[in-house]
Amino acid sequence: MSGSVTMFDTVFKELSATSNLSISISSVLLCIAVALLLGVVICGAYFVTTPKKERSASFILSLIILPTIVAVVIILIGGNLARAFSMAGIFTIVRFRSVPGDSKDISFIFLTMATGLALGLGYLSLGAVVTVVIGGVIVLVSKLGLGIPKQEEKRLRIIIPEDMNYQGVFDEIFAKYTSYAKLMKVKTTNMGTLFELSYDVIPKADANEKEFIDALRCRNGNLSILLIIKEGKEQQL
C-alpha cells in the first residue's frame, strides 16, 4: 500500500513540476469525489424531467462521468495557456446531441461542463451551487410545464372519394372536437380515384377521440383515417 502511495506522489510531483502547479493526491481525490457526486445530482434532475421511455442509458452514464472528466482535464491543463486549446476538443462532445431532439439534453451537457470547469479550477462550493441552482431551475420549469401545450398537436390524414369537395367538408366536426385545425396537404392516391387530406389538429381537452373519429368516418364514407402524433408515434384508426 505504501508503495502505491509513493508511486502516486511521484506522479503528482512530476506533474506539478511540468505544469507549475501544486497538486496533491488528497485534493485531486476530493475533486473527483465531488464531481462524481454532482454528476449523480445532475443525473437525478435528468430522471425527474425526462419520461422513462425517453431516457438513454448511455446519456445517463455521460452525465455522471462528464463532470469528473472535465475537472481532471482542467487540472492537467493548469495554467498552461497552450494546453487550454485542447479544451476545445471537449466541447465537440455536444455534437452528438445536436441532431433534432430535446434541447433540454444539451442543457444538461453544458451543466456538466460548467460543473467540471468549476471543480477543476478548485471552486468546489461554486460547482455545487451551480449544479443545485441550475438543476433546480430545469426541474422547476419542467414540473410547471412552461411552454408545453396542454394538448399535443397531431397530424390527421383522411381519405375521401375523388368526387367529394374537400374544401370545408370537415369544418363543422373540427369546430366541435378541436381547438386548432389546418389543412396542410392534399394529394391524389389510388390512381387518382381518392384524395388524401393532411391536417394539423389540436384536440380539445374534453374531446372524445373516438366520437371525433366516428364523425369523420361518417363524413368520408368510412374510408381510411390515420392519426399521427407529431413526435413520431402513430396510431392507426
Sorted by where each starts, the structural domains of the chain and their CATH numbers stand as 2-144 (no CATH), 154-236 (3.30.70.240)
The values of phi and psi at residue 198, to 5°, are -115, 120
Amino acid at 51: P
Across 73-77, 195-199, 230-234, least confident range:
230-234
Return the pLDDT at 204: 87
* Residues 110-117, mean pLDDT to the nearest whole number: 88
Share of the chain above pLDDT 90, in %: 31
Q: How many CA within 13 A on the CB side of residue 89? A: 8
The values of phi and psi at residue 98, to 5°, are -85, -5
Of the candidates 64, 70, 68, 79, the one whose C-alpha atom is nearest the C-alpha of residue 23 is 79
Instruction: Kindly report the pTM of this predicted structure.
Output: 0.57
Across 51-65, 82-96, 148-162, least confident range:
82-96
Confidence band for 161, pLDDT divided at 50, 70 and 90: very high
Amino acid at 182: K
The CA distance from 228 to 236, in Å, is 8
- Is residue 203 scored above 80 in pLDDT? yes
Confidence band for 152, pLDDT divided at 50, 70 and 90: confident
The CA distance from 69 to 36, in Å, is 10
> Terminus-to-terminus CA distance in the chain, angstroms?
68
* Residues 102-107, mean pLDDT to the nearest whole number: 77
> DSSP letters along 11-79, please?
HHHHHHHHHT----HHHHHHHHHHHHHHHHHHHHHHHHHS-GGG--HHHHHHHHHHHHHHHHHHHHHTT
Return the pLDDT at 236: 40
Confidence band for 216, pLDDT divided at 50, 70 and 90: very high
Consecutive H or E run containing 1: none
The CA distance from 214 to 171, in Å, is 15
Determine the 3-state secondary structure of 199 from DSSP.
Answer: strand
Q: Helices (DSSP H) in the chain: which residue ranges?
A: 2-19, 25-49, 57-77, 81-84, 87-91, 103-120, 124-144, 171-177, 209-219
